[in-house]
Every structure is written in C-alpha cells, then in structure tokens.
Amino acid sequence: MNKRIITISREFGSGGHSIGKAVAERLGIGFYDQALIEKIAAETGFSEEFIKEASEYSNAKNRFLFNIVVNRSLNDRNEPTPADTIFFAQSKVISELAEKESCVIVGRCSDYILRDRKDCLNVFICSDTEDRARRILKRYGNTDKPIQKRIEDKDTRRRIYYSHYTDRPWGIAQNYDLCLNSGSLGEEVCVNTIVSMFKSSYDISR
Amino acid sequence: MNKRIITISREFGSGGHSIGKAVAERLGIGFYDQALIEKIAAETGFSEEFIKEASEYSNAKNRFLFNIVVNRSLNDRNEPTPADTIFFAQSKVISELAEKESCVIVGRCSDYILRDRKDCLNVFICSDTEDRARRILKRYGNTDKPIQKRIEDKDTRRRIYYSHYTDRPWGIAQNYDLCLNSGSLGEEVCVNTIVSMFKSSYDISR
C-alpha cells in the first residue's frame, strides 16, 4: 500500500520535531506541528497556548469524546471538558488534512486518529535520557526544575493523555510501523530511514 | 559507531526468524538461532528441547543468576534453577560470539546480554495478531488450542522470561534501536531496512 501520510509520535527531547521537519523537507510535503495547533485554535476558539497545555494533560475523567469519535453519537449524560473539545477538533483537523494532502503530522495522537487508513506510516521516536536532556537544555535552556524531573513529568503527561484518548499504552512497538532510537542511531539515520521507507512504498512523482 | 552485531527480539509469529536469516545471508555474516541452542546445550549438558522450553518460561523465583551476571559474585544463600543455569550459559555463549564475529543473534535476551556493547544494532520485530496467526498456522499447523490462545500464551511466557532476567519490560521501543512491524511493512521492507542501517554504520568490506 502506498503511503501518503507520516505520523510522528515522540518522547520529549527525542528530536521528533526536527526529524519530522527534515523528512517533510526531503519529501517536499507539508509539515504539521505548530501549524496544526493554529488550525485547532481556529476550529475551537481556544488560544494556542491553552491547546498546547490542555492537550498534554487531559483532566477529563469521562469517555465522552471517545464515544463521539468512535460511535458518532452523543451521550448526553456526560459533558465534554475543554480537553475533550480540543481532541474532537484535532481529530477533525487531522482527518481532513490526511484526506487532502500528503504530509508529516507530529504528535496529537495522529497515529490513533488515522488508525483506519492504510496509507499512513506511523513512526515513534525515542531516545535515552542523557541524549534527551542534552537536546532539551540546548533548545529550552535550564529551569528551576531538575532536567530529569522535567523529562519524567512530560513523559507522564504524554502517557496519560495518549492512553486516555486512545485506550492503548504509549510507546509500545506494536502501535507503530517503525520505532527509531534517535540517541543511538543519530537524527540523520532516522531521517534517511523514514524517507526511504516512505519512498519505497510511494511513487514520489506526484 | 560501526555495528558488528545485530540482535533480533521478536513476537511469536512475527517472522523475526526468517527476517534475521535473510539479513545474515544478505550481509554474509553468521546467523545464530538454532545454532545458539546447540552451543548452550554443549555448554550445559541440557537437551536442546529442554533449553527451548525452559528458556521461554523461567520458573526461577530468585534473582540468583541476575546477581551472578551483574555482580560477578556468587550468593550462596540461593540455588540456581535449571533456567538460571541456562541463562548463565547463554550469556557466556552470546558474549563470546559477539566478541569473536560479526553476526545476527535471534532472541534469548541477546539485546540485554550485550547491552554494554556499542557495536550492536538491537532490533524488535512485531506484528498484528491476524498476520502472526497466518504465519504460525503456515509454519506449525493447527493444534487443539485456538490460535489466539497460542499467541497470548507465548507472548506471556516471553514477557515473563524477558522481564525476569533483564528487569525491564518486553517490547518497549526504548529498549531497541529499531522496531519494525512486519505485518504492515512486509518482511522484505524489514530486511532492507535492517541491512541498510547496518551497512550505513559499517564498512562491509571486512
């Protein structure tokens, strides 16, 4: 099956953003990370900052939105939280994007949202703690919180958010087509591997 | 860092054995799966059949062997089980192999046993249940036990064995350099990806 879409899920500090960006540039296709947040903001009316925060730590306690997305029917006994509203909007935005164009989408449970499509290459990028710490400090600098604690907190938030909305564990090889360790392999090998896997399934002369 | 060794961990029925074999053939290097069991049998005096069984379901309740391997000191308050003795022998056999030659090693916690080497490419092969069932039925045929139950039982045994001896969860992307889904990608793409990743790090003209 030809691949048209690449979804990239990633650990904080693993370089998933820059790997995704380089892949999109090499393939000459769209790249959606910040641009996705702008689209979701336009769809929901929430600020971009709020979307970034709420989407990494859902306080929603119910399965309301999951039911909307999966069953396409409203359950009027439950009220959606803002995080649910955002997830619903991002599901819509991501599904429309995938329908419209070949692109790279970073994060936001895009692998799960597009799980019924056969034309997605779902990639997970991870790395060891030392390598992630180096990358985080270089990109965001130091804060009062020790780097190890920042990594653990962010991992916990992403894990909770992902499993809340997808009902499956985060970072398990079985959820993806391809998982790459950017720390041991290096970012360039990761980019090359994704690009050649995508090209081998897809006539790039669109 | 040049890679000399490829370890392949795999889900039952994911095609990890045949992918590993094809990779070794393409690279012209040794392939250790059954041959590893023969070496462990020679080392321990246990039968090959017993080694296969015991090594997928350790009944050992203590951390004796883990202490031997990690601390290099005997703890005489605990007695090793046969599974411990086998694990100890396979650690020795695998470490010696890695020292001696460039090769592909399938299973037997080889990724963990060789974790301190920088010249290993650690690969995990997984697949969806339907694809695994198809492969298992083709290779081993039907039994009285439903195929779904056979897959679950084998996964449970490998998970318990791996986490008992390595103290880390099985099938988590973070443990490997590369994880590939043979069901969605196909075996040939898996072979090509491993071969080119290995070649890109290693001057093959040994």
Sheet with B178-181: list strands edge to edge: A30-32, A103-106, A5-10, A120-126, A178-181, B178-181, B120-126, B5-10, B103-106, B30-32
Q: What is the DSSP string of A77-118?
A: TS---HHHHHHHHHHHHHHHHHHH--EEEESTTHHHHTTT-S
Inter-chain contact B189–A174, Cβ cutoff 8 Å?
A: no
Inter-chain contact B126–A185, Cβ cutoff 8 Å?
A: no
pLDDT tens, residue order, chain A (206 aa): 688 999 999 999 999 999 999 999 999 999 998 888 888 888 888 888 887 776 655 444 444 444 444 343 444 456 777 778 888 888 999 999 999 999 999 988 999 999 999 899 999 999 999 999 999 999 888 888 899 999 988 888 888 888 888 888 888 899 999 999 999 999 999 999 999 999 887 543 33
Predicted confidence (pLDDT) per residue in B31-87, tens digit: 998 888 888 888 888 888 887 776 655 444 434 444 444 343 444 556 777 778 888
Instruction: Tell me the β-bridge partners of A123.
Output: A8, A178
CB B151 within 8 A of CB B129: yes
Contacts of B193 in chain A (CB under 8 A): 178, 193, 196-197
Dihedral class, residue B108 (left if φ above 0, else alpha if ψ from -120 to 50, else beta): left
Please name which of B124, B126, B151, B127 lies closest in space to residue B137, comparing C-alpha atoms: B151
Q: Best mutation site among B118, B119, B121, B181 for testing chain A: the one with the most A CBs within 10 Å? A: B181
pTM of the model: 0.85
* Assembly ipTM: 0.84
- Specify the 3-state DSSP secondary structure of A185: helix
CA distance to partner chain A, nearest, from residue B44 (Å) = 34
Q: Best mutation site among A1, A117, A181 for testing chain B: the one with the most B CBs within 10 Å? A: A181
Inter-chain contact B185–A196, Cβ cutoff 8 Å?
A: no
Contacts of B126 in chain A (CB under 8 A): 173-174
Inter-chain contact A197–B197, Cβ cutoff 8 Å?
A: no
Q: Go through chain A and tell me how many residues it has.
A: 206
Q: Which of A126, A177, A193 sits opposite B184 (nearest CB)?
A: A177
> How many residue contacts between A and B have a Cβ separation below 8 Å?
70
CA A103 to chain centre: 13
